């Protein structure tokens, strides 16, 4: 049914099971969902009407922007698709981006003006989900998280009210939006402060042999590296479509000074077992990956593992990460350097956890039939939990779990209590619960 109206107001395009557009509407980037209904909203008024619709139908709401989240696969509820809200407005260094925009389009629009924002690594990832979850990107050491560059937001509440949140007007709400997820309403516009960016130096190094000494050298290099440099280590099997098989280190240097980048990376480039594969200046949008969309003929297997924000990448953490990859042939291991501007933000100044972290780590075994039995699956869980225990937080955007209580692992108790108080003010009925959910607090306390 198109252009439905409820109580005299626009709702957007309402699509239910059996409608001609149902099969396309319920597909998202990472899978196929089975919601009770999908509403495609093209305006802020459509969003307001959609929330009135959800209230009348007693439906919880899941917000879809880029569509990478695993929450799109949770049955039932209303999927509110805001991908049409993708306007990008540039006024000097102040950038206003629609809540349904994707980072690839944003990066291209900014590159044309010599600007950049620290975003995620993938072009098709939505601005909304990434920012509200924090947003660890290639400029994290120089500019912080995507959420750290957020200076304002337009939000539609569960009651259908349109709120302009800034540090001056609604400081506690904006604090919660900087890492607290989509728990508080539908963000229809994000306001960022961008940075001058004329390009980046992009380097890729192959790794042969034991990665442990190379990762120790990389850790030591990054302890004193300029903030312009951010690095990633990745070791993936041939089955993973996100990157070439094998172990590699990718580096991004802000700006086009190749000589400065080479000097900073010299200790790594000269280490035994390291070979240069790529090195040169690129436009920032060209660095972003293109993630393949869900293929129902070849669905991705389950993932047994997790991620952690590590205060220190000590020798034990390195050994455990490499060992995990060695013991599970169909597995992935990942590291991203933090510190710098990321750590300049005090823990209490944003909802994002783990500001003391200097590295982000992730590892997981793909649950391929015939490769993981109950014993090896349990071993992978135990091995990962030993790594996570060394951390000071978990990054929700890199989690594929839809466990109802996972948010309790993401946020420290003080942060969770503060988020619960904000939730109680803006979404007391917990309409926005199809996420890493913060439940409304009682008298300012977490439920």
- Nearest alpha carbon to residue 369 among 187, 239, 179: 239
pTM confidence score? 0.94
Residue 3 carries which DSSP code? S
Three-state DSSP at 205 gives strand
Overall CATH class of domain 5-81: alpha beta
Of 99, 146, 92, 148, which is closest to residue 115 (Cα–Cα)? 92
- The answer to whether 248 touches 206, Cβ cutoff 8 Å, is yes
Cα–Cα distance for residue pair 65/67, rounded to 1 Å: 5
d(CA 416, CA 346): 16
CA distance 260 to 275: 19
Helix (H/G/I), strand (E/B), else coil: 81: strand
Q: Whole-angstrom Cα distance, residue 155 to residue 165?
A: 7
Per the CB < 8 A criterion, the answer to whether 319 and 379 are in contact is no
Per-residue confidence in pLDDT tens, the chain, 447 aa:
334 444 345 789 999 999 999 999 999 998 999 999 999 999 999 999 999 999 999 999 999 999 999 999 999 999 999 999 999 999 999 999 999 999 999 999 999 999 999 998 999 999 999 999 999 999 999 999 999 999 999 999 999 999 999 999 999 999 999 999 999 999 999 999 999 999 999 999 999 999 999 999 999 999 999 999 999 999 998 765 566 789 999 999 999 999 999 999 999 999 999 999 999 999 999 999 988 888 887 777 889 999 999 999 999 999 999 999 999 989 999 999 999 999 999 999 999 999 999 999 999 999 887 778 889 899 999 999 999 999 999 999 999 899 878 999 999 999 999 999 999 999 999 999 999 999 999 764 544
Please give the Cα distance from 393 to 378 (Å, whole number): 22
Structure tokens at 386: 């030993």
Architecture of domain 88-196: 2-Layer Sandwich (3.30)
Location of structure tokens 């050491």: 141
Domain regions of the chain by residue span: 5-81, 88-196, 200-398
Question: Whole-angstrom Cα distance, residue 125 to residue 28?
Answer: 12
Quick one: CATH architecture of 200-398? 3-Layer(aba) Sandwich (3.40)
C-alpha distance from residue 443 to each of 9, 130, 158, 180, 423 (Å): 34, 30, 20, 19, 11
Sign of CA dihedral 65, 66, 71, 77: positive
């Amino acid at each position: 049914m198109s252009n439905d109206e409820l109580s005299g107001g626009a709702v957007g395009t309402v699509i239910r099971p059996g409608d001609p557009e149902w099969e396309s509407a319920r597909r998202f980037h990472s899978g196929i969902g089975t919601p009770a209904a999908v509403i495609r909203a093209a305006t802020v008024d459509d969003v307001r009407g959609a929330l009135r619709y959800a209230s009348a139908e007693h439906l919880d709401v899941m917000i879809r922007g880029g569509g990478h989240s695993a929450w799109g696969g949770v049955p039932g509820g209303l999927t509110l698709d805001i991908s049409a809200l993708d306007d990008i407005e540039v006024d000097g260094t102040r950038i206003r981006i629609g809540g349904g925009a994707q980072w690839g389009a944003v990066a291209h629009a900014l590159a044309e003006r010599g600007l950049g924002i620290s975003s995620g690594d993938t072009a098709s990832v939505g601005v909304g989900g990434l920012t509200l979850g924090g947003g660890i990107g290639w400029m994290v050491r120089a500019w912080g998280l995507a959420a750290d560059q957020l200076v304002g937001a337009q939000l539609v509440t569960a009651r259908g009210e349109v709120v302009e949140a800034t540090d001056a007007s609604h400081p506690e709400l904006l604090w919660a939006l900087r890492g607290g997820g989509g728990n508080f309403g539908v963000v229809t516009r994000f306001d960022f402060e961008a940075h001058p960016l004329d390009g980046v130096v992009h380097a890729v190094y192959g790794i042969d042999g034991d990665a442990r000494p190379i990762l120790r050298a990389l850790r030591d290099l990054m302890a004193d590296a300029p903030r312009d440099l951010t690095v990633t280590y990745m070791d993936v099997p041939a089955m993973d479509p996100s990157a070439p098989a094998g172990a590699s280190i990718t580096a991004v240097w802000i700006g086009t000074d190749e000589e400065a980048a080479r000097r900073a990376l010299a200790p790594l480039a000269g280490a035994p077992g390291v070979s240069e594969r790529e090195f040169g200046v690129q436009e920032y949008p060209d660095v972003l990956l293109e993630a393949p969309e869900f293929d129902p003929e070849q669905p991705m297997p389950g993932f047994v593992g997790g991620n952690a924000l590590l205060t220190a990448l000590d020798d034990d953490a390195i050994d455990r990460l490499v060992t995990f990859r060695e013991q599970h042939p169909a597995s992935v291991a990942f590291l991203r350097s933090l510190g710098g501007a990321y750590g300049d933000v005090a823990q209490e100044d944003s909802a994002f956890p783990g500001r003391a972290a200097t590295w982000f780590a992730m590892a997981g075994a793909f649950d391929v039939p015939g490769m993981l039995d109950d014993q090896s699956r349990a071993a992978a869980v135990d091995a990962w939990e030993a790594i996570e225990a060394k951390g000071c937080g978990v990054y929700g955007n890199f989690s594929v779990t839809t466990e109802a209580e996972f948010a309790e692992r993401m946020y420290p108790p003080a942060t969770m209590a503060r988020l619960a108080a904000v939730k109680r003010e803006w979404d007391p009925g917990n309409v926005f619960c199809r996420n890493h959910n913060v439940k409304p607090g009682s008298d300012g306390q977490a439920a």
